[in-house]
Structure 1
Amino acid sequence: MFQDITVEELLELQRKGEVSLIDVRSPSEFEEATIPGSINIPLFDDEERAAVGTLYKQESVDAAKDKGLELVSRKLPDFVRAIGGADGPRKVVFCWRGGMRSRTSATLASLMGLRMLRLAGGFRAYRKWVVETLESFTALPPCYVINGYTGSGKTELLERLAERGYPVLNLEQMAAHRGSIFGHIGKAPNNQKSFDSLLVHELLRWREAPYLVMEAESKRVGKVVLPDFLVKAKEEGEAIFVDIPVEERVANIIADYRPQEHKDDCIRSFERIEKRMHTPVAAEILAALRDDRFDEAVKLLLLHYYDPRYQYATDQYEQDRITITASNVEQALEQVIRVLPPVPGG
């Protein structure tokens, strides 16, 4: 039969790469939030889950169990094969609260000869661990905070630094959002639960790091809100301002946002800020977007909207900063590396 394990035991097994983590909840539950590294092999799809739940509420527990058994019996061979095909010598299954779905899944797979584990308390127990662990962080190591006008390649700098082993917190990556009114374009932004899960694992990963590198974000990034200790660490960190030419910034934005592929989304997003701009300039930007003159539209947005707003925001704080002037992100990266202490373990 299967064995129950705690969240802490699961995390240790994941760290060693010894298990596959299988979320047997419905696809919509999985999409809303899951444990990082999980795959979705649902015992019931969304319609089946709704049908069983209706019987449970309106008729009886036995009626719901009978319906569940009927549904599972039809898909049992494919379901067990899918679990068996997951990587890892041992499989951990979980549902919402460690109830009937994960118990049924673990039992059936065990009977077919698979080495099964079940997460006690399910996703709810994991979420409780995430919240409590985040609350345990009251301060972070000293931070280096990458600043710069929109399009300066700040996120790319973080990605390149991470590739070289630097202790990076890429908040926009965890939020799946670029942090602006256009930040969702071409992405599926994460909700707070998903962001919190990714964040807590990164914080634990770098808990012993002598410093962290992050981008200068506002408190809200897309759908998520940063915890206060993170905002405080950013505000107290060593600011590194990256200054690259506006033409290079325009090119970076075009490459990242790909407006030619998301034209309608770009127009809709611009219409949300159109009234905040001087009318003739706003009309010029909108015309450029509609006529596929994206370089022109982006440059006007930078000069007449984003740059003034950024300058106003930075003028509110008297903060020393290290200024890096470069022709492109590649040059900026090498200069940032000269500013940072040696990479830990490097």
Structure 2
Amino acid sequence: MSLLDAGKDLPIVEDLLALFLQDVPMLDVRAPIEFNEGAFPGSINLPLMDDADRVAIGTRYKQQGQDAAIELGLQRVSGDIKAARVNAWENFVRQHPEGVLYCFRGGLRSRTSQQWLYEQTGIRYPRVHGGYKAMRRFLLEQLAMLASAIQPIILSGRTGSGKTRFLHAFQQQIDLEALANHRGSAFGNQPTPQPPQIGFENSLTIQLLRQFHQGQHTLLFEDESRSIGSVHIPEVLFQALSQAPLVLMQVADEERVEISYQEYVVDNIAAFTAVNGGDTEAGFAAFSAYLLGSLAKVQRRLGGVRYQQAQGMMERALRQQILDGSTTAHYDWVRFILLDYYDPMYDYQISKKQERLVFTGTPAEVRAYLASQNIR
């Protein structure tokens, strides 16, 4: 059988909605560079061709045509290399017998992977018709539909009010910051990188789809700007969110300081240490760089005097942490940044949204209001 005929009689999946609603395991056989530009949550990249293969074969295709490109592909992916790649697919397939595989367009690469897998294992593993491109186009179409079909309610409140924690008490919610892997402020970087824009959009749309098809059309979102770190909310959804009813949660200043200290100091120290394999010195170094780097981002807005004040507080807190492991000195800069920097900005922003404000109250009162709006 020629490669052009590979996989023609093997199963094909065309129900893209079911793939995403049922969280079907996905084997992505695209090259790593393609996968890293955008993928689906939970998909695993076990490529047929690595990045160098893809470039070389693509160049051959442009210069000499399809047959010559296929010949080069068979030369580069053969012997032990081919065996290792098919073995990796077999391991995935045996762990996820209900899954699917795909390449970019559902063409030669996925059919070849299907055929080689079948020849080695006898397993008729399905491939996605149209591949990644069809699934991506489907999600973009669904996002446009969902942006007008759902009813968002926006949860607002000053920085440190615990809005994200509050959000997680509900089923009918979308946590944009979790999807973006960023807290949505100058100090919002996480120890692990953000997803690419396409990956963020894919994950967001899949979550919206699942909520919608569970009958949950009214959804709670946290109040976010257009950009969350390096990714941005798709314009069609951002427009819907920017016109939605706003609920304002009021939390006492000292409670906000305590929440922010826990999240931005205690939790971050633990996270940076974990990312560095439990090495406390490396974790502290990464945490220190994160703090001072985050402050530098807002230097111009703070102004010279306030920036020097905040920097001094941070540096004293970090020195104290080195001396005795105590983190309580961090309360000083946390309080200063919250009350002197974030609060005036928030007050200005909320003043422009008064016509959308439908309720203001304590967390308990907001919870009761949302329950009255059938948000669970």
Distance in 1 separating the partners of 2:250 and 2:89: 48
Equivalent of 1:44 in 41, 45, 49: 49
Taking the aligned partners of 2:236 and 2:20, their CA distance within structure 1 comes to 29
Residue 213 of structure 1 corresponds to which residue in structure 2? Answer: 220
Amino acid aligned to 2:259: R
CA contact (8 A) 2:101 2:126 kept: yes
Alpha-carbon deviation of 1:124? Answer: 0.9
In structure 1, C-alpha distance between the alignment counterparts of 2:43 and 2:200, rounded to whole Å: 15
Secondary structure, in 3 states, of the residue corresponding to 2:360? strand
What amino acid sits opposite 2:227 in the alignment? R
CA 1:315 to 1:240, structure 2 compared with 1: closer, same or farther past 3 Å? closer
RMSD: 2.6
For residues 367 and 81 of structure 2, what CA distance do their matches in structure 1 show? 54
Residue 349 of structure 2, aligned match among 313, 328, 331 = 313
Task: Determine if the alignment matches structure 1 residue 127 to structure 2 residue 136.
Answer: yes
Contact 1:150/1:249, CA 8 A, preserved across alignment: no
Residue 368 of structure 2 corresponds to 338
Cα deviation, residue 110, structure 1? 1.6
Q: CA deviation at 1:170?
A: 1.0
> How far apart, CA to CA, are the structure 2 residues paired with 1:213 and 1:148?
14
- SS of 1:53 mapped into structure 2: helix
Identity %: 30
Tell me the equivalent position of 2:296. Answer: 271
TM-score when normalising by structure 2: 0.79
Residue of structure 2 in register with 1:203 after alignment: 208
* Cα distance in 2 between the residues matched to 1:268 and 1:238: 32
After superposition, the Cα gap between the structure-2 partners of 1:140 and 1:184, relative to the gap in structure 1 and judged at 3 Å, is: farther
Distance 1:60 1:15 in 2: 39
Q: Which residue of 2 aligns with 1:225?
A: 233
Partners of 2:129 and 2:339 in 1: CA distance: 54
Q: Residue type of the partner of 2:240? A: K
Number of positions where the alignment pairs a residue of Structure 1 with one of Structure 2: 332
Q: Is the 8 A contact 2:181 2:193 kept in 1?
A: yes
Match of 2:337 among 282, 298, 301: 301
Measure the CA separation in 2 of the matches of 1:171 and 1:135. 17
**In the aligned structure 1, how far is the partner of 2:373 from the partner of 2:47?**
42
Alpha-carbon deviation of 1:76? 2.5
Q: Which residue of 2 aligns with 1:24?
A: 29
* CA drift at 1:77: 2.5
Aligned equivalents of 1:75 and 1:11: distance in 2? 35
Q: Report SS of the residue matched to 1:34.
A: coil
Given the superposition, is the C-alpha separation of residues 285 and 157 from structure 1 closer, same or farther in structure 2, using an over 3 Å criterion?
same
* 1:144 alignment partner in structure 2: 153
**CA–CA distance in structure 2, aligned partners of residues 139 and 216 of structure 1:** 18
- The gaps in structure 2 that reach 5 residues or longer are 1-8, 273-283, 319-328
Matched-pair contact (CA < 8 Å) for 1:241–1:324: yes
Task: Tell me: CA distance 1:217–1:322, structure 2 relative to 1, closer, same or farther (3 Å).
Answer: same
CA distance in 1, matches of 2:119, 2:374: 47
Report deviation, 1:22. 0.4
The 1:210–1:138 alpha-carbon spacing in structure 2 relative to 1, beyond 3 Å, is: closer
Scaled by the length of structure 1, the TM-score of the pair is: 0.85
Q: d(CA) in 2 for partners of 1:179 and 1:128?
A: 27
Match for residue 108 of structure 2 among 66, 89, 100: 100
SS, match of residue 286 in structure 1:
helix
Pair 11,80 (structure 1): closer, same or farther in 2 beyond 3 Å: farther
In structure 1, how many angstroms separate the alpha carbons of the residues matched to 2:184 and 2:155?
14
CA distance in 1, matches of 2:246, 2:117: 53
Between the aligned partners of 1:268 and 1:247, the Cα distance in structure 2 is 21
Residues 219-270 of structure 1: CA deviation (Å, up to 9, x unaligned)? 2222223334444345322413141424313323324443844321332232
1:329 corresponds to: none
Instruction: Give me the whole-angstrom Cα distance separating, in 2, the residues matched to 1:316 and 1:265.
Output: 32
> Quick check: 2:57–2:69 contact (8 Å CA) kept in 1?
yes
Between the aligned partners of 1:44 and 1:300, the Cα distance in structure 2 is 53
The Cα of 1:101 is off from its aligned counterpart by 1.4
**What is the CA deviation profile of residues 295-319 of structure 1, one whole-angstrom value per residue up to 9, with x for unaligned ones?**
3222221122111101111122324
Write out aligned runs for 1:248-263 (5 A). 248-251=258-261, 252-258=263-269, 260=284, 261-263=286-288
Deviation at 1:61, TM superposition (A): 3.2
Q: Closer, same or farther in 2 for the Cα pair 1:220/1:124, shift >3 Å?
A: same
| Cross-structure match for 1:191 | 196
Whole-angstrom CA distance in 1 between matches of 2:18 and 2:176: 24
Higher helix share: 2
- The separation in 1 between residues aligned to 2:217 and 2:56, in whole angstroms, is 53
Say if 2:10 and 2:124, in contact at 8 Å, map to a contact too: yes
Q: Find the residue that maps to 2:154 and give its secondary structure.
A: strand
Deviates more, 1:60-69 or 1:31-40: 60-69
Q: Does 1:117 align with 2:123?
A: no
Unaligned runs of 5+ in 1: 326-331
Are residues 63 and 210 of structure 1, via their aligned partners in 2, closer, same or farther at CA, if it must alter by over 3 Å? closer
CA-CA distance at 1:210 after TM superposition:
4.9
Other-structure match for 2:164? 155
Question: How many angstroms does 1:52 deviate by?
Answer: 2.1
SS of the residue corresponding to residue 152 of structure 1 reads coil
Match of 2:83 among 53, 73, 77: 77
